Structure 1
Amino acid sequence: MNSSLASLTKNFGGNHPITTEYFKKQGYSSEQISLAYHKEIFPHEYIDSHNRFKKTELPLINEFHSVFGGKISQDDYEYAQKTSMHHYGLDSNHYVSAPSLSWDAMLKMTKVKIELFTEMAMHDFIEKAKRG
């Protein structure tokens, strides 16, 4: 895939009617399907230390840029803020990373309830598996 992510996602949508039809059969709306074909925004260069993950808000737009494509547009910045609120009812400004937002979105959309550990062996298993 010798192309930018923006080019790949742009080319994907209109050229793959079978994939689009599959998503429609799964019950996804056209708007939801279009999200799969859109490059998302993440402030890669802004996250330059662990302390950045302690922030509770997105950086100001003048700090929100990418060496992959230069400064982002105001539209992309606003899109990054509004997408999760519109589709999942989750405010992305309250998350320190895309994976933590994605995890909560998955839990909300699937209505999965995570049980608390009821046995010490369960806790010990997780503790032993930690790395880093």
Structure 2
Amino acid sequence: MSVTNEFFKENVICGVRVGTMSSSDTTKWCKPSPPFVKINFDGSVINSVAAGGFVLRNELGNPLIAKALNLGHNTIEVAEALALQEAICWAKRKNFSHIIVEGDSKVIIDVVQGKCKISWNLRSILEDVN
């Protein structure tokens, strides 16, 4: 098992919000409780050109690290996976050991939690994360 794999399993809590919202629903970002930091990651694809990014925030909600990634021609799943991979790498570099991860990609969250099989195109990205 890789070092990142072990880090993820020991230090990360994953969350995903799935469902439909009516116009009267409001979603509010919640601060992590100490000693946790929170990573929010996302990916986007427009005309087959992908971008991704993440924000890592402390218990006060203040950004500690924020990055945007130009990911070239990719799928949304690859963009989301690369954004998560980059976020975890930065968290490790900064020696954060208590991390909550939130994202809107049920596929990516399920893969890192071991709830579904990993597809071939995500294997090399996520095998070092989950």
Which band: TM-score by shorter chain?
under 0.3
Q: TM-score, normalised by structure 1?
A: 0.26
Q: TM-score, normalised by structure 2?
A: 0.27
The structure where helix makes up a greater share of residues is: 1
Pick 1 or 2: higher relative contact order, CA cutoff 8 A, min separation 6: 2
